[in-house]
Amino acid sequence: MALRIVGLSPPSQPPRAWWWGFAALFAAFLLTMPIYFDIAVLFSVTNYLVLALLALSMSFLWGYGGMLSFGQTAFFGLGGYTYAVMALNLHETTGAMIVAIVLPMLFAAVLGYFMIYGRISDIYFSVITLVVTLILEKGIRATSGDQYVVGSVRLNGQNGIPTTPALQVPWNPKVQLEIDDVFYLAAILLVLTYVGLRLLLITRFGRILVSIRDNERRSALLGYDTRRYKLLAFVIAAGVAGLGGAMWGVWGNFVGPNMFNLGQAAQVVIWVIVGGKSTLIGPIGGTIAVQYLTDWLGTQGVGQVSLVLGIVLMVMVMLFQQGLLPSVGLIAAMARDALSGARRHRAPP
Amino acid sequence: MSDEIILETRGLEKRFGGVRAIADVSFKLRRGELRCLIGPNGAGKSTFFKMLTAQLKPTSGQILFESKEITRLEAHEIGRRGIGIKNQVPDVYDGLSVRENIWLAASVRARPTLARAKVDEVMARLELEPLADRLVGELAHGQRQWVEFGMVTAREPKVILLDEPTAGMSAEETSRTAALIREANKLATIVVVEHDMQFIRQIARTVTVFHQGAILAEDTMENIQKNQTVKDVYLGKSGRA
Amino acid sequence: MDDVAIYAYQIGLSFAIFILISLGLAVIFGMMRVINLAQGEFLMLGAYFCTLITKAGVDLWISFFLAALAVGVFGMIVERVMIRYLYGRILDTLLATWGLSLFLVGGVTTIFGPQSESVAATLGQVTVGAFGISLYNLVVIAFALALLLGTYALWRYTRFGLVVRGTMQNPAMAAALGVNTGLVYTLTFGFGSAITGLAGAVLAPIVGAAPPMGVFFIGKAFITVISAGHLPLLGTISASGLYGVIDGVVAYISSSVIGEMTVLFVAIILLRLLPLGITGRMRRGI
Ligand SMILES: Nc1ncnc2c1ncn2[C@@H]1O[C@H](COP(=O)(O)OP(=O)(O)OP(=O)(O)O)[C@@H](O)[C@H]1O
Ligand SMILES: [Mg+2]
C-alpha cells in the first residue's frame, strides 16, 4: 500500500509523462556531474553507480518477483571474474563484457531450474542462494595455488586479480576508457537498465511476474506456468548483476573474492530495504546513501563497519517495514492528509 | 445440455495422514450442467475441488476431463485446458487494481486487443467499472468475491468450480450472484458448493450430497429434500439445514 | 584394515561435526520455524566463551557447560527482544537475524580483534597403523552422539518435550490448555541456542575461535536442516549421515572446499527430487 501513499503508480501501469521527465532529469543530472565535480569525486560516484546496478537487480527480483535472492552478489562476483579472465585471455574487452553478462545468466538458469522447478518455498530459495554464495566465495578463496588457472590467468585465491583490464572502445580497441569515460558509461548503463526494467514491468511478462508475487496460486490456477516466469526473472536479474560485476572490475581494475562476500550481500539487501523495494528508483537512492555512509564511517575509524550495518539492518526490519525513503513519504502523506482533513473541517458544510 | 461427460472422477481418494478426506468418489458431470454440491462441514467438498484443479494431489484414483486423463497435470495445465475455480477463501490479487485482476485472467488465452475487450465486457457485466482502479485489497468482502467471479469467467473456462460463492453476502447480493451464475451457465458447465438451501433451490437441477468424503446421494433438489438419509446427516450430525 | 578404520574415523568425525553444527538449528528452524541466520555466530560465541572461561583457569570440561549456559541465556534474551516480534514473518526474521549476525561478528572483532583464539585439549593420540588419531576427536564424536540422544530423550520422554512439541504444532490449542506458550518459545529457543553454544565450545579445541567462524559452518548447517524435512531430529540424523559420508570422503581425497561443494550439489539435486526433504513423506516421528 506504500505505493499509493508515496504517490507512485502501481508497478505495472505505464509510466506517466512526469516519470519520463524525471528519468530525463536524472540522466541529465548524472551526465553533467563531471562539470561540477573533480575526478576523485567522479571516481567514487562511479562506484556507487555500478553498485546501484546490483541494487537494481535485487530490487527487481525481490520487489517485483517476490524472490529474495542472496545470490545476486554471487552473480556480481561471477560477472567480475568472467570479465577479468576473458579480457586477459582474449586481449579484447567487448566480448569479455558480453560473456560476463551471459555466464551469470546461464548459471542462474541452471540453479534457478533446480530451485524453482523443484517448487521449494520462498524461504528455502533465499537460504539456498545464500549457501551457494557462501560456497562460491570459499571456492574462489581456495584458488591460490598455481594449478588454478583459466587459460593464461591465475585466479589468485584471496588476492583476486589486480590486473583486470580497462575497457576498450568496441570499434577502436586501441583506445581505453579513462576514469571519466567509465563514469559516463556507468551512468548511461544505470539509466538504461533502470528505464529498461521499468518498461519490462508493463509488458505482459512484467505484469504476470507481479501477479505471481501477489498470489502465485491464483496465477497458476488461471493457467500461467508461474515457474517459467520466475525463472526468467531470476535469469534477467542475474544478467544485470553480472553487468554490475564486470563494470566494477572495469572501475577498480580489480576483482576479488570479497565480491561474493556475505557482508557484500548484506549491503545489497540494506540498500534495497533503505530505498524501499516497492520502487526501482528507491534502491538506487538507497545504494548511494548507504554507500556514502559506509565510506564515511570507514574514514571515521569506526572500525567495524559490519557492526553498524548489522544494527542498521535490525533497526530497518524491526521499525521501518516499508523502507526508509517510503517511510518518510508515508509520514509526509499522513501529515498532508491531516492538514487537508483539517482544512475540510473548516470549510462550511 | 448434452449427454457428453465433460468431467469425471474414478475412485478418487485423498488421505491427510490418517484422515480419509475423500474416499472412493466416482463422479460424473455432463457438459452444460449446473450442479450443486452440498454436505456438512468437513464432508470433503473443498478437498474434492482442490484435487480437480491440482492444488492437491490425489492419493489414488483418476480424473478425466473431456475423456482425457488429467490426474497428474500441474495446476496451470489444468487451468489452460479450461477448468476454472473460485476457492472457498477469496483468492485474488490484493495488491493490484480491479481492472488488472480481470486483465490477468482474460489474457491467459486471448491476444492483447481481445483481452482488453473481454475485460471491459466482464467489468460491465459485473458492474465493477466504478471500482476499476481501486486496489482489490481495499474492497469489501462481497465485492472481492465478484472480482474473483469475474476473473474465473473472464478466461472462459469450460468448467467452472465455485466453492461457496455467496459466503458472507447479503440476501440481495446472493440473488444477484445466482443470476450471474445462471448467466455464466449458458457458456460453461458449473459446479457450485453451497450451504444455503434457498440459494440452491434458485439455481440447481441436480444436487450431489457429500458426506464423510463419499457421495451420499445424487438426485433432483426435490427428491434430495425428501431423502431421509440426507436429513439425518444434516440434522443429526451437524445441525444445519 | 587400517584404511577401513581410518575411513570409518573420517566419516564418523565428519558426521559428528554435521550433527553438532546443525542440531541447534534443527530445534530453532526445524521445530520452531525460526530462520536464524545468526546461528553460526551463536556457535562462535560458544567457542569464545569456552576459550575465555578456560583462560580464566576453569577446567575445559566445565567450561563447555558454562559456554552452553551462557549462549542459552543469550538466546533467550534474543528471543525476548527480537524474535518474539517476528513470529510468522519469516523473511523479516531472516533479515533481522542476519543483522544480528553481522552485529555479533563486528562486535566480537571489535572486542577481541580479528585473530583466532585457541584452546588446547591435550588428550594425546592413538595410532592406527601409520596414522595418528587425536583422542579428542573421538571425544567429539562421542559428544555428538550424546547430544543427539539427549535431545531425543528430552523431546520424546519428558513432559517438557511433549509440551514443546504440542505448542509448535498448535500454539492456539496449547494456550487453550493452559500452556504458557510465550515461555515455551523462549525456552525452546534458549535450548536450541544452548546446544549450538555447546557445539561451538566442543569444536573450539579443533578449530579455535575466530569472528568469521560462524560463516564457515552456517552453510552446512542450513543445507542439513533444509534437507531434513519436517521431522527435525530424524531428518537431521539422516541428512548428517548422508552429507557426513560425502563430505568426509570427498574432503579426504581432495579438499574441504571441494567436499563442501559436492555436498551443496547433492543437496540441490536432492531438493529437486524431494522438495519436502528426506522426511517429507514420513508421517510420524520427531
Ligand atoms: N490440508 C489438510 N490437512 C489435513 N486435513 C485436511 C486438510 N484439508 C482438509 N482436511 C480435512 O479434510 C476434511 C475435509 O475438509 P474440506 O475442507 O474438504 O471440507 P468441506 O466439505 O469443504 O467443509 P466446509 O463446508 O467446512 O468447507 C476435513 O476433515 C478436514 O479437516
Ligand atoms: Mg469447504
For residue range B120-175, list pLDDT tens digits in order. 999 999 889 999 888 898 898 888 889 999 999 998 999 999 999 988 888 888 88
Total domains, chain B:
2
Atom of ligand 1 nearest to the CA of B17: 4
**Structural domain harbouring B93:** 83-156
Q: Is the CB of B2 under 6 A from ligand 1?
A: no
Q: Please state, in angstroms and rounded to a whole number, the distance separating the CA atoms of residues B95 and C58.
A: 59
% helix / strand / coil in chain C, to the nearest 5?
75, 5, 20
How high is the pLDDT of residue B202?
84
Q: Is the CB of B39 under 6 A from ligand 1?
A: yes
DSSP single-letter state for residue A215: -
pLDDT of A147 above 90 = no
At A169, is the pLDDT very low, low, confident or very high (cuts 50, 70, 90)?
Answer: confident
| A224: in domain | yes
Query: Which positions in chain A touch C226 (Cβ < 8 Å)?
Result: 124, 127-128
Q: And the C-alpha cell for B123? A: 467489468
Burial class for A342, CB neighbours closer than 10 Å (0-12, 13-18, 19+):
exposed
| A146: in domain | yes
* Ligand number nearest to the C-alpha of B47: 1
Q: Is the CB of B114 under 6 A from ligand 1?
A: no
Q: For residue B30, what are the β-bridge partners?
A: B5
Atom 12 in ligand 1: which residue has the minimum CA distance?
A: B21
B13 and B55 in a single domain? The answer is yes
Write down which residue in B138, B156, B174 finishes a domain: B156
Measured in Å, residue B44 CA sits from the centre of ligand 1 at 5
pLDDT of A345 above 70 = no
Ranges under pLDDT 70 in chain C:
1, 283-284, 286
Q: And the C-alpha cell for A241? A: 548483476
Backbone angles phi, psi at B60, to 5 degrees: -155, 170
How high is the pLDDT of residue A149?
82
Burial class for C212, CB neighbours closer than 10 Å (0-12, 13-18, 19+):
middle
Which of A4, A214, A223 is opposite residue B155, by nearest beta carbon? A223
Q: Is the CB of B44 under 6 A from ligand 1?
A: yes
Q: Please state, in angstroms and rounded to a whole number, the distance separating the CA atoms of residues A214 and A65.
A: 9
**Structural domain harbouring A136:** 37-260
Q: Find the residue in A nearest to C215 (Cα).
A: A134
Residues in CB range of A258: below 8 A, 6 or more apart? A160, A264
Other Cβ atoms within 10 Å of A186 Cβ, number = 26
Q: How far is CA C79 from CA C82, C100, C101, C192, in A?
A: 6, 12, 14, 11
Atom 16 in ligand 1: which residue has the minimum CA distance?
A: B44
B87 and B149 in a single domain? The answer is yes
Measured in Å, residue B16 CA sits from the centre of ligand 1 at 9
At B235, is the pLDDT very low, low, confident or very high (cuts 50, 70, 90)?
Answer: low
| C226 with A124: Cβ contact below 8 A | yes
Q: Find the residue in C nearest to A110 (Cα).
A: C268
| A135 with C260: Cβ contact below 8 A | yes
Helix axes A72-90, A94-117, angle to 10 degrees: 150
| B55: in domain | yes
Q: Is the CB of B45 under 6 A from ligand 1?
A: yes
| B62: in domain | yes
How high is the pLDDT of residue A54?
95
Query: Which positions in chain A touch B95 (Cβ < 8 Å)?
Result: 10, 214
Other Cβ atoms within 10 Å of A172 Cβ, number = 8
At A237, is the pLDDT very low, low, confident or very high (cuts 50, 70, 90)?
Answer: very high
Q: Please state, in angstroms and rounded to a whole number, the distance separating the CA atoms of residues C73 and C79.
A: 10
| A215: in domain | yes
| A123 with C264: Cβ contact below 8 A | no
Complex-level ipTM beyond the 0.85 threshold: yes
Q: Please state, in angstroms and rounded to a whole number, the distance separating the CA atoms of residues C196 and C30.
A: 14
3-state secondary structure of A121: coil
Q: Please state, in angstroms and rounded to a whole number, the distance separating the CA atoms of residues C84 and C82.
A: 5
How high is the pLDDT of residue A8?
40
B118 and B75 in a single domain? The answer is no
| B174: in domain | no
| C268 part of contact set with chain A, CB < 8 Å | yes
Measured in Å, residue A329 CA sits from the centre of ligand 2 at 42
Each residue of A284-337: pLDDT tens digit? 999 998 888 888 877 876 667 788 888 988 988 888 766 666 677 777 777 776
| A138 part of contact set with chain C, CB < 8 Å | yes
Residue at grid coordinates 578463496 = A141
| A307: in domain | no
Which of A218, A221, A225 is opposite residue B93, by nearest beta carbon? A218
Residue A218 Cα, gap to closest chain B Cα (Å): 6
Helix axes C213-228, A122-141, angle to 10 degrees: 140
| A96: in domain | yes
3-state secondary structure of A127: helix
Measured in Å, residue B163 CA sits from the centre of ligand 1 at 13
| A218 with B103: Cβ contact below 8 A | no
Average pLDDT on A211-221 reads 94
Q: Find the residue in C nearest to A68 (Cα).
A: C91
Measured in Å, residue B145 CA sits from the centre of ligand 1 at 21
At A340, is the pLDDT very low, low, confident or very high (cuts 50, 70, 90)?
Answer: low
Q: And the C-alpha cell for B239? A: 445441525
B89 and B148 in a single domain? The answer is yes
CATH code for the domain in which residue B4 is found:
3.40.50.300
Helix axes A226-252, A179-200, angle to 10 degrees: 170
Top CATH class of C2-273 equals: mainly alpha
Total domains, chain A:
1
Q: Please state, in angstroms and rounded to a whole number, the distance separating the CA atoms of residues B64 and B73.
A: 11
Average pLDDT on B15-29 reads 90
Q: Are A54 and A288 in contact (CB under 8 A)?
A: no
How high is the pLDDT of residue C184?
93
Write down which residue in B156, B173, B203 finishes a domain: B156
Backbone angles phi, psi at B219, to 5 degrees: -165, -175
| A273 with C95: Cβ contact below 8 A | yes
Which of A111, A123, A313 is opposite residue C98, by nearest beta carbon? A313
B52 and B90 in a single domain? The answer is no
Each residue of B57-90: pLDDT tens digit? 999 999 999 999 999 999 999 999 999 999 998 8
> Which residues 71-100 of C have a C-beta within 8 angstroms of A?
82, 85-86, 90-92, 94-96, 98-100
| A60: in domain | yes
Other Cβ atoms within 10 Å of A316 Cβ, number = 21
Each residue of A55-112: pLDDT tens digit? 999 999 999 999 999 889 999 999 999 999 999 998 889 999 999 999 999 999 999 9
